[in-house]
Structure 1
Amino acid sequence: MAGAVKEEASCTHYKRHCKLLAKCCGEFFVCRLCHDDVKEHTMDRFAVTTVKCLQCGTEQPAANVCKDCGIVFGEYYCSICHLFDADKKQFHCCGCGICRVGPKENYFHCFTCNFCLHNDIKDTHKCVQNVSRQNCSVCMEDLHTSRTSVNTLLCGHLLHRTCYSDMWKRGFYRCPLCVHSMTYMHDFWKDLDDEIAMTPMPEAYQSATVMIFCNDCQEKGSVPFHVLGMKCSSCGSYNTSQDGGLSMPPQHPC
């Protein structure tokens, strides 16, 4: 009968009752992340064939129940990824090649993006080829296999949710890769409209114009100049870049 786990599993990543034998170095680790934290190489999760029970110490072929003491190693177990963990409604995605936190019915695999995305954006997301097969452009850590959830931006690029939140807290709203607005900004642009209306430019600049390039709709055009922002006349975005010098109205002599 299964009892209290005898050997301490000092793993902050997963809740499990076994260790995995890393073929790369022949040592047991609670998980691949624990291995990678102390080794100068990475552990291949798919190559695991042997586990060690943390209750009775028995080494055995990888499975979810100890063949000697009967303890269950993980509420969730994937025989492909050799993932043992608490039940988080995980599911193995054949397209991604790894397990994802579910529930499965809330997600779909986009074969262009090559990534599992939430059903809420199935018909609206912008596809970017193999978008997850790169590092987060903020923290430069892996996106595809990361345990940190990701946000899908309007442009289709991905950021770790924590990195996305940190950018907003610091006042950055542009995608680090393509400078498109990360999300819908209508309310923010309206607030900026009101602020500009209450902050007139000095008389000499009130008729000044400037050429801008819109990072959201890609249009160019001449718009009124204001130090708080230049509004795209095509889509109403303030996510614009100045594309030339000021054009000042002719000055009439007194």
Structure 2
Amino acid sequence: MPNGDREPLRMSSVGCRHYRRRCKIVSPCCGQVYWCRHCHNEAASSSSWPHEINRAQIVEVICQLCNHQQKPAQSCDACGHDFSSYYCQQCNFWDDDGIRKQVFHCDKCGICRVGGRDNYFHCDACGSCYPAEIKDSHTCVENAMRRNCPVCLQDLFQSVTQVTILQCGHTIHQVKQ
């Protein structure tokens, strides 16, 4: 995808409201190009063909510095620039704020989490990561995070919205204040 007559993108000026990065993804489901899966899903949800991207099926990204199209990787094969400071090959996830956010990949969850590996534990009974401070006191609810929020009906497990764990063990999106 040529950049046309536009000036090259500055490294600090790229990304979307979800993530800062220097590559866009080519959606395997519809071939459209987006900054991230959330941008794709938001656009697709209001289209005539509502669908969500399967991030594991992403096989192409486009460098936003030189417009080179390639397989997902940490850096561009053509110009050598890193796409972000944090990259997870399993999740096809890039985020320049990943180090600051303490993003880590949980093999058991199969996704990247925010907040630092040492601050979370994976509960096999619940099937998800939870804050370390509730490890000895939380009530297990099988697959509690793999359900939709009972209020907004949106996915909890892969949500970018903070999730609250209730004393009963059920989960819900945190109320915005």
Query: Which residue in 2 is equivalent to 1:121?
Result: 134
Could you list the runs of 5+ residues in structure 1 that have no partner in the other structure? 166-254
Question: What amino acid is the match of 2:147?
Answer: Q
> Do residues 90 (structure 1) and 103 (structure 2) align?
yes
Separation in 2, partners of 1:162, 1:73: 33
Query: Which residue in 2 is equivalent to 1:46?
Result: 56
8 Å CA contact 1:46–1:81 kept in 2: the answer is yes
Question: Structure 1 residue aligned with 2:113, among 97, 100, 112?
Answer: 100
Pairwise CA RMSD of aligned residues? 1.9
SS across alignment from 2:164: strand
Post-superposition shift, 1:150? Answer: 1.1
8 Å CA contact 2:40–2:53 kept in 1: the answer is yes
Separation in 1, partners of 2:62, 2:139: 45
Query: Which residue in 1 is equivalent to 2:4?
Result: none
Deviation digits for residues 104-125 of structure 1 (CA, Å, limit 9, x no counterpart): 0110000111110011000000
8 Å CA contact 1:6–1:54 kept in 2: the answer is no
Distance 1:122 1:131, change over 3 A: same
Q: Which stretches of structure 1, 4 residues or longer, exceed 6 Å deviation after superposition?
A: none
Question: Structure 2 residue aligned with 1:81, among 78, 83, 91?
Answer: 91
SS across alignment from 2:38: helix
> Do residues 21 (structure 1) and 31 (structure 2) align?
no
Question: What is the percent sequence identity of the aligned residues?
Answer: 43
Deviation digits for residues 64-94 of structure 1 (CA, Å, limit 9, x no counterpart): 1111112111111000111101222111111
Separation in 2, partners of 1:10, 1:93: 24
Post-superposition shift, 1:34? Answer: 0.8
Deviation digits for residues 30-65 of structure 1 (CA, Å, limit 9, x no counterpart): 111111111111111011111100010000111011
Which protein shows a greater Rg?
1
Question: What amino acid is the match of 2:83?
Answer: F
Question: Structure 2 residue aligned with 1:65, among 55, 75, 96?
Answer: 75
Query: Which residue in 1 is equivalent to 2:155?
Result: 142
Separation in 2, partners of 1:64, 1:44: 19
Post-superposition shift, 1:5? Answer: 2.2
Query: Which residue in 1 is equivalent to 2:165?
Result: 152
Query: Which residue in 1 is equivalent to 2:47?
Result: none
8 Å CA contact 2:126–2:145 kept in 1: the answer is yes
TM (norm. structure 2) is: 0.85
TM (norm. structure 1) is: 0.60
SS across alignment from 1:143: coil
SS across alignment from 1:136: coil
8 Å CA contact 1:65–1:71 kept in 2: the answer is yes
Separation in 2, partners of 1:94, 1:78: 11
Distance 1:6 1:106, change over 3 A: closer
8 Å CA contact 2:15–2:21 kept in 1: the answer is no
SS across alignment from 1:34: helix
Deviation digits for residues 189-244 of structure 1 (CA, Å, limit 9, x no counterpart): xxxxxxxxxxxxxxxxxxxxxxxxxxxxxxxxxxxxxxxxxxxxxxxxxxxxxxxx
Separation in 2, partners of 1:162, 1:71: 39
Matched length: 162
